Amino acid sequence: MKLLVTGAAGFIGHALCDSLCRRGDEVVGIDNLNSYYDVALKQARLARLAPFANFRFQHLDLADAAALQQLFVEEGFTGVLNMAAQAGVRYSLENPAAYVSSNLVGFANLLECCRHHPLEHLVYASSSSVYGANREMPYSTRHNVDHPLSLYAATKKSNELMAHSYSHLYQLPTTGLRFFTVYGPWGRPDMSPILFADAITRGEPIKVFNHGRHRRDFTYIDDIVAGVLACLDRPPAADAQWTGFDSDPSRSSAPWRIYNIGRGEPVGLLHYIELMEQALGQTTEHQMLPAQPGDVEETFADIEPLALATGYTPQVSLQQGLGKFAQWYRDYYKPA
Protein backbone atom coordinates (compact mmCIF):
# COMPACT_ATOMS: atom_id res chain seq x y z
CA MET A 1 0.00 0.00 0.00
CA LYS A 2 0.99 3.63 -0.42
CA LEU A 3 0.01 5.33 2.79
CA LEU A 4 -0.17 8.82 4.21
CA VAL A 5 0.47 9.03 7.95
CA THR A 6 -0.37 12.39 9.48
CA GLY A 7 1.27 13.33 12.77
CA ALA A 8 4.25 11.22 11.72
CA ALA A 9 6.56 12.91 14.24
CA GLY A 10 4.11 12.22 17.07
CA PHE A 11 4.16 9.37 19.57
CA ILE A 12 1.66 7.05 17.86
CA GLY A 13 2.25 8.31 14.32
CA HIS A 14 5.96 7.60 14.40
CA ALA A 15 5.41 4.10 15.83
CA LEU A 16 2.93 3.37 13.04
CA CYS A 17 5.36 4.61 10.37
CA ASP A 18 8.03 2.31 11.78
CA SER A 19 5.79 -0.78 11.64
CA LEU A 20 4.40 0.06 8.20
CA CYS A 21 7.87 0.51 6.76
CA ARG A 22 9.04 -2.75 8.30
CA ARG A 23 6.17 -4.65 6.66
CA GLY A 24 6.99 -3.12 3.26
CA ASP A 25 4.42 -0.38 2.71
CA GLU A 26 5.40 2.91 1.06
CA VAL A 27 4.85 5.65 3.65
CA VAL A 28 4.68 9.41 3.35
CA GLY A 29 4.65 11.11 6.74
CA ILE A 30 3.56 14.67 7.41
CA ASP A 31 3.67 16.78 10.56
CA ASN A 32 3.58 20.49 11.37
CA LEU A 33 6.23 20.06 14.10
CA ASN A 34 4.46 22.53 16.38
CA SER A 35 5.96 23.58 19.70
CA TYR A 36 3.25 22.16 21.99
CA TYR A 37 6.08 20.07 23.42
CA ASP A 38 9.81 19.64 22.75
CA VAL A 39 10.40 19.67 18.99
CA ALA A 40 13.73 17.91 19.54
CA LEU A 41 11.83 14.79 20.63
CA LYS A 42 9.76 14.92 17.43
CA GLN A 43 12.90 15.29 15.36
CA ALA A 44 14.51 12.36 17.19
CA ARG A 45 11.52 10.20 16.29
CA LEU A 46 11.81 11.22 12.64
CA ALA A 47 15.53 10.42 12.73
CA ARG A 48 14.63 6.82 13.62
CA LEU A 49 12.54 6.62 10.43
CA ALA A 50 15.10 8.22 8.11
CA PRO A 51 16.99 4.95 7.35
CA PHE A 52 13.88 3.41 5.74
CA ALA A 53 14.07 3.75 1.96
CA ASN A 54 10.26 3.45 1.80
CA PHE A 55 9.65 6.45 4.10
CA ARG A 56 9.54 10.13 3.15
CA PHE A 57 8.72 13.07 5.38
CA GLN A 58 7.13 16.39 4.45
CA HIS A 59 6.72 19.34 6.83
CA LEU A 60 3.05 20.17 6.29
CA ASP A 61 0.11 21.39 8.38
CA LEU A 62 -3.37 19.88 7.83
CA ALA A 63 -4.78 23.39 8.18
CA ASP A 64 -3.01 24.30 4.90
CA ALA A 65 -5.71 23.04 2.54
CA ALA A 66 -3.90 23.95 -0.70
CA ALA A 67 -0.66 22.19 0.27
CA LEU A 68 -2.57 19.12 1.41
CA GLN A 69 -4.53 18.94 -1.85
CA GLN A 70 -1.29 19.21 -3.84
CA LEU A 71 0.21 16.35 -1.84
CA PHE A 72 -2.76 14.12 -2.69
CA VAL A 73 -2.50 15.06 -6.38
CA GLU A 74 1.19 14.15 -6.47
CA GLU A 75 1.14 10.95 -4.43
CA GLY A 76 -2.03 8.94 -5.19
CA PHE A 77 -2.46 7.34 -1.77
CA THR A 78 -4.31 4.06 -1.30
CA GLY A 79 -4.87 4.68 2.41
CA VAL A 80 -4.57 7.33 5.12
CA LEU A 81 -3.81 7.02 8.83
CA ASN A 82 -4.71 10.30 10.54
CA MET A 83 -2.85 10.57 13.84
CA ALA A 84 -2.42 14.36 13.67
CA ALA A 85 -4.25 16.36 16.32
CA GLN A 86 -3.75 18.97 18.96
CA ALA A 87 -3.57 16.65 21.94
CA GLY A 88 -4.11 17.16 25.65
CA VAL A 89 -7.26 17.55 27.72
CA ARG A 90 -5.97 20.25 30.08
CA TYR A 91 -4.30 22.35 27.36
CA SER A 92 -7.67 22.60 25.58
CA LEU A 93 -8.84 24.79 28.47
CA GLU A 94 -5.95 27.19 27.83
CA ASN A 95 -5.77 27.32 24.03
CA PRO A 96 -9.07 26.22 22.45
CA ALA A 97 -8.21 27.84 19.10
CA ALA A 98 -5.43 25.30 18.53
CA TYR A 99 -7.98 22.46 18.79
CA VAL A 100 -10.37 24.11 16.35
CA SER A 101 -7.59 24.66 13.80
CA SER A 102 -5.99 21.22 14.01
CA ASN A 103 -8.77 18.85 15.05
CA LEU A 104 -11.69 20.40 13.17
CA VAL A 105 -10.39 22.51 10.27
CA GLY A 106 -7.46 20.16 9.62
CA PHE A 107 -9.65 17.06 9.70
CA ALA A 108 -12.19 18.67 7.37
CA ASN A 109 -9.39 19.44 4.91
CA LEU A 110 -8.26 15.82 5.06
CA LEU A 111 -11.79 14.52 4.43
CA GLU A 112 -12.09 16.77 1.39
CA CYS A 113 -8.83 15.39 0.01
CA CYS A 114 -10.02 11.82 0.55
CA ARG A 115 -13.29 12.68 -1.17
CA HIS A 116 -11.65 14.10 -4.29
CA HIS A 117 -8.85 11.52 -4.43
CA PRO A 118 -10.66 8.25 -3.55
CA LEU A 119 -8.76 5.71 -1.51
CA GLU A 120 -9.37 2.32 0.09
CA HIS A 121 -9.53 3.37 3.73
CA LEU A 122 -9.21 6.34 6.10
CA VAL A 123 -8.32 5.32 9.65
CA TYR A 124 -8.28 8.15 12.19
CA ALA A 125 -7.51 8.62 15.87
CA SER A 126 -10.39 9.30 18.20
CA SER A 127 -10.09 9.10 21.99
CA SER A 128 -11.54 7.50 25.10
CA SER A 129 -12.16 11.11 26.19
CA VAL A 130 -15.36 11.11 24.10
CA TYR A 131 -17.08 9.06 26.82
CA GLY A 132 -16.98 12.12 29.05
CA ALA A 133 -19.57 12.03 31.82
CA ASN A 134 -20.55 8.40 31.13
CA ARG A 135 -20.30 6.27 34.27
CA GLU A 136 -21.31 2.87 32.90
CA MET A 137 -18.30 0.55 32.68
CA PRO A 138 -16.71 -0.79 30.61
CA TYR A 139 -16.97 1.98 28.03
CA SER A 140 -18.70 0.52 25.00
CA THR A 141 -18.96 1.92 21.50
CA ARG A 142 -22.67 1.17 21.88
CA HIS A 143 -22.92 3.88 24.56
CA ASN A 144 -24.11 7.41 23.92
CA VAL A 145 -21.24 9.94 23.98
CA ASP A 146 -23.11 13.23 24.08
CA HIS A 147 -21.54 14.62 27.27
CA PRO A 148 -17.85 15.45 26.64
CA LEU A 149 -15.99 17.09 29.55
CA SER A 150 -13.43 19.03 27.49
CA LEU A 151 -13.15 20.74 24.13
CA TYR A 152 -10.54 18.15 23.17
CA ALA A 153 -13.12 15.40 23.69
CA ALA A 154 -15.74 17.39 21.79
CA THR A 155 -13.43 17.74 18.78
CA LYS A 156 -12.79 14.00 18.77
CA LYS A 157 -16.48 13.20 18.77
CA SER A 158 -16.89 15.79 16.01
CA ASN A 159 -14.32 13.89 13.95
CA GLU A 160 -16.41 10.73 14.24
CA LEU A 161 -19.53 12.58 13.07
CA MET A 162 -17.70 14.35 10.23
CA ALA A 163 -16.27 11.03 9.03
CA HIS A 164 -19.73 9.47 9.06
CA SER A 165 -21.14 12.17 6.82
CA TYR A 166 -18.37 11.58 4.25
CA SER A 167 -18.79 7.81 4.48
CA HIS A 168 -22.52 8.25 3.85
CA LEU A 169 -22.32 10.86 1.10
CA TYR A 170 -19.25 9.65 -0.80
CA GLN A 171 -18.92 5.98 0.23
CA LEU A 172 -15.53 6.72 1.78
CA PRO A 173 -14.57 3.81 4.08
CA THR A 174 -13.61 5.26 7.47
CA THR A 175 -12.71 3.73 10.82
CA GLY A 176 -12.41 5.74 14.02
CA LEU A 177 -10.31 4.35 16.87
CA ARG A 178 -10.84 5.45 20.45
CA PHE A 179 -7.42 5.10 22.06
CA PHE A 180 -7.17 4.41 25.80
CA THR A 181 -4.21 5.96 27.71
CA VAL A 182 -1.37 5.02 25.38
CA TYR A 183 2.10 4.78 26.95
CA GLY A 184 5.54 3.46 26.11
CA PRO A 185 8.93 4.51 24.72
CA TRP A 186 9.03 7.79 22.77
CA GLY A 187 5.87 9.01 24.53
CA ARG A 188 4.79 12.63 24.94
CA PRO A 189 6.47 14.58 27.76
CA ASP A 190 3.14 16.08 28.86
CA MET A 191 1.75 12.62 29.70
CA SER A 192 2.00 10.89 33.05
CA PRO A 193 4.81 8.36 32.32
CA ILE A 194 7.42 11.04 31.63
CA LEU A 195 6.01 13.48 34.21
CA PHE A 196 6.15 10.78 36.88
CA ALA A 197 9.54 9.44 35.75
CA ASP A 198 10.99 12.97 35.86
CA ALA A 199 9.72 13.47 39.42
CA ILE A 200 10.90 10.05 40.60
CA THR A 201 14.41 10.33 39.17
CA ARG A 202 14.83 13.90 40.50
CA GLY A 203 13.48 13.03 43.93
CA GLU A 204 10.63 15.52 43.55
CA PRO A 205 7.00 14.96 44.67
CA ILE A 206 4.63 13.36 42.15
CA LYS A 207 1.45 15.37 41.68
CA VAL A 208 -1.36 12.83 42.19
CA PHE A 209 -4.65 14.33 41.06
CA ASN A 210 -8.07 13.28 42.34
CA HIS A 211 -6.25 12.08 45.47
CA GLY A 212 -5.18 8.93 43.59
CA ARG A 213 -8.72 7.74 42.88
CA HIS A 214 -8.28 7.76 39.10
CA ARG A 215 -8.32 4.44 37.26
CA ARG A 216 -7.00 4.17 33.71
CA ASP A 217 -6.97 1.51 30.99
CA PHE A 218 -3.26 1.81 30.18
CA THR A 219 -2.41 0.46 26.71
CA TYR A 220 1.13 -0.19 25.51
CA ILE A 221 2.14 1.42 22.22
CA ASP A 222 2.89 -1.91 20.46
CA ASP A 223 -0.63 -3.14 21.20
CA ILE A 224 -2.07 0.12 19.85
CA VAL A 225 -0.06 -0.22 16.64
CA ALA A 226 -1.15 -3.84 16.19
CA GLY A 227 -4.79 -2.83 16.56
CA VAL A 228 -4.49 0.07 14.11
CA LEU A 229 -2.84 -2.07 11.44
CA ALA A 230 -5.44 -4.81 11.88
CA CYS A 231 -8.14 -2.21 11.23
CA LEU A 232 -6.28 -0.64 8.31
CA ASP A 233 -6.23 -3.97 6.50
CA ARG A 234 -10.01 -4.42 6.96
CA PRO A 235 -11.89 -1.47 5.42
CA PRO A 236 -15.49 -1.41 6.65
CA ALA A 237 -18.37 -2.21 4.35
CA ALA A 238 -21.89 -0.85 4.65
CA ASP A 239 -23.84 -2.83 7.23
CA ALA A 240 -26.94 -4.10 5.42
CA GLN A 241 -28.49 -5.09 8.76
CA TRP A 242 -28.32 -1.57 10.19
CA THR A 243 -31.47 0.54 9.97
CA GLY A 244 -32.51 3.92 11.27
CA PHE A 245 -34.18 2.05 14.12
CA ASP A 246 -30.88 0.45 15.19
CA SER A 247 -29.62 1.76 18.54
CA ASP A 248 -25.94 0.83 18.02
CA PRO A 249 -24.11 4.13 17.31
CA SER A 250 -20.85 2.38 16.35
CA ARG A 251 -22.24 0.88 13.14
CA SER A 252 -23.99 2.31 10.11
CA SER A 253 -25.49 1.66 6.71
CA ALA A 254 -22.45 3.64 5.49
CA PRO A 255 -18.93 2.10 5.33
CA TRP A 256 -18.05 3.52 8.74
CA ARG A 257 -17.01 1.95 12.06
CA ILE A 258 -15.94 2.99 15.53
CA TYR A 259 -13.82 0.78 17.82
CA ASN A 260 -12.16 1.03 21.22
CA ILE A 261 -8.46 0.15 21.40
CA GLY A 262 -7.38 -0.48 24.96
CA ARG A 263 -6.11 -3.27 27.16
CA GLY A 264 -9.50 -3.84 28.79
CA GLU A 265 -8.02 -3.77 32.29
CA PRO A 266 -8.32 -0.55 34.33
CA VAL A 267 -5.59 0.04 36.92
CA GLY A 268 -5.64 2.36 39.92
CA LEU A 269 -3.38 5.39 39.67
CA LEU A 270 -1.51 4.61 42.89
CA HIS A 271 -0.74 1.06 41.71
CA TYR A 272 0.46 2.49 38.40
CA ILE A 273 2.82 4.83 40.27
CA GLU A 274 4.06 1.93 42.39
CA LEU A 275 4.90 -0.08 39.26
CA MET A 276 6.63 2.96 37.75
CA GLU A 277 8.77 3.36 40.87
CA GLN A 278 9.65 -0.34 40.74
CA ALA A 279 10.64 -0.06 37.08
CA LEU A 280 12.92 2.91 37.83
CA GLY A 281 14.25 1.50 41.09
CA GLN A 282 13.41 4.66 43.04
CA THR A 283 10.56 6.07 45.11
CA THR A 284 9.44 9.59 45.90
CA GLU A 285 6.79 11.56 47.78
CA HIS A 286 3.19 11.61 46.51
CA GLN A 287 1.45 15.00 46.63
CA MET A 288 -2.31 14.42 46.75
CA LEU A 289 -4.31 17.04 44.85
CA PRO A 290 -7.95 17.58 43.76
CA ALA A 291 -9.19 16.45 40.35
CA GLN A 292 -8.44 18.73 37.41
CA PRO A 293 -11.16 20.24 35.18
CA GLY A 294 -11.93 17.99 32.21
CA ASP A 295 -10.59 14.80 33.81
CA VAL A 296 -12.71 11.66 34.07
CA GLU A 297 -12.34 9.38 37.07
CA GLU A 298 -12.09 6.04 35.27
CA THR A 299 -11.57 4.61 31.80
CA PHE A 300 -12.20 0.98 30.91
CA ALA A 301 -12.40 -0.21 27.30
CA ASP A 302 -14.80 -2.83 25.99
CA ILE A 303 -12.54 -4.28 23.27
CA GLU A 304 -14.74 -7.24 22.31
CA PRO A 305 -16.04 -5.67 19.04
CA LEU A 306 -12.49 -5.01 17.86
CA ALA A 307 -11.39 -8.51 18.88
CA LEU A 308 -14.28 -10.07 16.97
CA ALA A 309 -13.63 -7.97 13.87
CA THR A 310 -9.84 -8.26 13.73
CA GLY A 311 -8.60 -10.80 16.28
CA TYR A 312 -7.05 -7.99 18.34
CA THR A 313 -5.54 -9.28 21.60
CA PRO A 314 -3.33 -6.98 23.70
CA GLN A 315 -0.06 -8.69 24.58
CA VAL A 316 1.87 -6.39 26.92
CA SER A 317 1.03 -6.16 30.63
CA LEU A 318 1.40 -2.86 32.47
CA GLN A 319 4.40 -4.15 34.43
CA GLN A 320 6.14 -5.29 31.22
CA GLY A 321 5.29 -2.07 29.42
CA LEU A 322 6.55 0.18 32.19
CA GLY A 323 9.77 -1.84 32.30
CA LYS A 324 10.33 -1.14 28.58
CA PHE A 325 9.40 2.50 29.07
CA ALA A 326 11.81 2.90 32.00
CA GLN A 327 14.68 1.44 29.98
CA TRP A 328 14.01 3.87 27.10
CA TYR A 329 13.57 6.79 29.50
CA ARG A 330 16.99 6.23 31.06
CA ASP A 331 18.63 5.79 27.64
CA TYR A 332 17.05 8.90 26.12
CA TYR A 333 16.92 11.37 29.02
CA LYS A 334 19.95 10.03 30.93
CA PRO A 335 18.79 11.20 34.38
CA ALA A 336 21.46 11.54 37.05
pLDDT tens for residues 199-224? 999 999 999 999 999 999 999 999 99
Decide if pLDDT at 25 tops 80.
yes
pLDDT the model gives residue 140: 97
Query: What does the pLDDT read at residue 247?
Result: 72
Q: List Cα–Cα distances, 277 to 63, 203, 326, in angstroms.
A: 41, 11, 9
pLDDT at 88 over 90: no
What's the confidence (pLDDT) of residue 91?
Answer: 82
pLDDT at residue 82 above 90? yes
pLDDT score of 33? 96
Count CB atoms within 10 A of the CB of residue 156: 26
pLDDT of 94 over the 90 cut: no
Question: Confidence class of residue 95 from pLDDT cuts 50, 70 and 90?
Answer: confident
Mean pLDDT throughout 302-320? 97
Q: Which helix (H) or strand (E) holds 15?
A: helix 11-22
Q: Is 215 helix (H, G, I), strand (E, B) or coil?
A: strand
On average, the pLDDT of the chain sits at 95
Buried b (16+ CB within 10 A) or exposed e, 239-275: beeeeeeeeebbbbebbbbbbbbbbbbbbebbebbeb
Among 36, 131, 152, 259, the one annotated catalytic: 152
- Is position 272 annotated as part of the catalytic site? no
Instruction: List, in order of start, the domains of the chain with CATH numbers.
Output: 2-180+220-263+300-314 (3.40.50.720)
Of residues 61, 59, 158, 76, the one with CA closest to residue 114: 76
From start to end of the chain, where are the E strands? 2-6, 26-31, 55-59, 79-82, 121-127, 174-179, 182-183, 206-208, 215-216, 219-220, 256-261, 267-268, 286-288
Give 309: exposed, middle or buried? Use CB within 10 Å, 0-12, 13-18, 19+: middle
Burial 63-73 (b: 16+ CB within 10 A, else e): bebeebeebbe
Judged by DSSP in three states, 116 sits in: helix
Predicted model pTM: 0.95
Asked if 189 and 195 touch (Cβ cutoff 8 Å), the reply is yes
- Whole-angstrom Cα distance, residue 219 to residue 177? 13
User: Average of pLDDT values for 102-113?
Assistant: 96
Residue 273: pLDDT band by 50, 70, 90 thresholds?
very high
Peptide bond into 138 cis (omega under 30): yes
Highest mean pLDDT among 122-131, 239-248, 291-300: 122-131
pLDDT band at 336 (very low <50, low <70, confident <90, very high): confident
Q: Would the pLDDT of 159 be above 80?
A: yes
